[in-house]
Amino acid sequence: MEYSNLITKLLEGNTRAAARLITIVENDIDAAETIINSIFRNTGNAYILGITGAPGSGKSTFISNLTDIFIEQEKNVGIICVDPTSPITGGALLGDRIRMKQHFNLDRVFIRSMANRGQLGGLARATEDVIKILDAYGCDVIIVETVGVGQSEVDIFKSAETVILLLVPGLGDDIQAIKAGIMEITDIFVVNKMDFPGADRKVAEISQMLELNSSFKYQSDQLRDEYSKLVAWTPEIVKVNSKTGENFKELLEIIKKHTKFLEDTGIISNYLKNRIKSETLQILKHKLQKKVEDLINSNQKDIEQYINKVIEKSLDPYSMADLIIKMLGIEK
Amino acid sequence: MTENRKIKVLVCKPGLDGHDRGAKVIARALRDAGMEVIYTGIHQTPDDIVNTIIQEDPDAVMLSMLSGSHNAICPVIMQKLKEQNIDDVLVAVGGIIPNEDKPFLEQHGLKGFHGPGTDLKTIVEFVQNNLKR
């Protein structure tokens, strides 16, 4: 097989093979399929930690500090930093490495920057695949840094066992805290830049928001199943200073508590099932979309006729979509 | 390939040189040309740079040097790349590179040598036309 040499080296822990395979899965979705297919058995050992937060909330500096602690514990750390792609030119400036300290023990830390290539949700299409490659490469902990997020980039919730949301003092009031979206998928709230005024107020706002959560917790069995990871766990709040490393020991204890909770309650297996479900759905979407695009490209004439019919009002867009589905050979 | 391959470029400033406006302008120009640009910041040692090249797997590396230490640092970077058997990455150096130093740097496999006032289009085309893979 085309990539077997690289894959053999990857499984031996070869850094360059890992880097090259990541490049391949980023650029070529068919190749990604082949590669993941042959390394999949060697995945599932890494603990995946998602770090999300607004632009400038200090995600990269925070990760740099956290990584130091994982290195002290002799863990191999993989870091995936996602930054946005320009919607206008398709280019990207990936600047997360600047904040990652250079004295990282080179053998223990693998940092990779990724552009999101227009994918919504805070991650790149290939992020899941890159996680698997780093997992097979031998990382014990994989830290995934999302793009600087707003309120609704919540994909990290599906990829990571523990989601940490970084907040900073002075941004938004208590109303922001009760809005839907990112605040709901967070396992650990970190108030970064604790030396800034307003840090305690931020902590108070989050804890008030969390108290209100109890009513949501018992809504329905279905909700309880799909989101059991969120429902049974009461998120913790910790304030830290990523420049000095203050309170990082406490943070680490909370991370441990969360992993232990996932295991003790058996929720981890639920989480895995949901993760597989959503990942497969994502892959299906890509594959079906590709099929539809190919079909449309090779049947321009028919499509043109349909479009004209829609313009003449003898066909509506829903019925046109059904006709295309029929062309695909799928029952409506 | 199913998707268009993106050109990935590493822009960095080796050594004790803090003047990074030029590097940022280059990074921005390459970004605007549709490339994925990693900017590592200032004060990079040859080991830092080679380590980043190994992990990020870029197609091109642009070294920005205004400090006059290019003859000392660039050959070290090239040597370390050779030790790692990395031979498919374009390595260019620009900034303040006197004409008389170019043959020496060229011998070590470096390219580019774009100085102040170079049209950004020239640099974008240089990257596009000199990739090794």
Closest CA to B95 of B78, B117, B79, B76: B117
How far, in Å, are A71, A75, A272, B74 from residue A45 at the CA level?
17, 12, 13, 40
Name the residue among B1, B47, B56 with its Cβ closest to that of A27.
B1
Average pLDDT estimate for A40-56: 92
Flag whether residue A27 sits within 8 Å of chain B, measured between CB atoms: yes
pLDDT for residue A220? 47
- pLDDT bin (cut points 50, 70, 90) of residue A150 is confident
Give the CA radius of gyration of chain B: 14
- Give A17's contacts in chain B (Cβ within 8 Å): none
Please state which of the ranges A133-137, A165-169, B27-31, B61-65 shows the lowest mean pLDDT: A165-169
- Split at pLDDT 50, 70, 90, the class of B35 is very high
Residue B2's pLDDT is: 45
Q: What is the mean pLDDT of chain A?
A: 87
Q: Of B93 and A274, which is predicted with more confidence?
A: B93
Number of structural domains found in chain B: 1
- Flag whether B47 is in a domain: yes
Token reading at A119: 């994918």
Q: Is residue B87 part of a domain?
A: yes
Whether residue B3 lies inside any domain: the answer is: no
Does the pLDDT at position A315 exceed 90?
Answer: yes
Domain that holds residue B41: 8-130
State the burial class of residue A107 (Cβ atoms within 10 Å of its Cβ: 0-12, 13-18, 19+).
exposed
B129 in reach of chain A (CB within 8 A): no
Lowest mean pLDDT among A212-226, A241-255, B30-44, B62-76: A212-226
Distance between A104 CA and the closest CA of chain B, angstroms? 10
Whether B1 maps to a domain, the answer reads no
Q: Characterize A147-185 residue by residue with b for buried, 16 or more Cβ atoms within 10 angstroms of its Cβ, and e for exposed.
A: bbbeeebbbbbbbbbbbbbbbbbeeeeeeebeeeebbbb
Domain ranges of chain A: 42-265, 266-332
Q: Which of residues 73-102 of B touch A (CB under 8 A)?
A: 84, 86
Q: Which of B3, B36, B86 sits opposite A29 (nearest CB)?
A: B3
pLDDT at A226 over 70: no
CA distance A235 to B13: 42
Token pair recorded at residue A42 = 């060697």
Chain A's closest residue to B10, CA to CA, is: A94
**For the whole model, what pTM was predicted?**
0.89
The token pair that represents B97 in the structure block? 């590179």
User: What is the rounded CA–CA span in Å between residue A45 and residue B105?
Assistant: 46
Band of pLDDT at residue A177, cut at 50, 70 and 90: low
How confident is the model at residue A286, as a pLDDT?
A: 84
- In-domain check, residue B43: yes
Q: CB of A168 within 8 A of CB of A261?
A: no
- Is 3.20.20.70 the CATH classification of the domain at A42-265? no
> What b/e string do you get for A75-99 counting C-beta neighbours within 10 Å, with b at 16 or more?
bbbbbbbbbbbeeeebbbbbbbbeb
Least confident range of A1-5, A90-94, A239-243, A257-261: A1-5
Q: What CATH number corresponds to the domain at position B47?
A: 3.40.50.280
Q: Return the percentage of chain A with pLDDT > 70, whole number.
A: 89
End-to-end CA, chain B:
14
What tens digit of pLDDT does each residue of A52-64 get?
Answer: 988 888 999 999 9
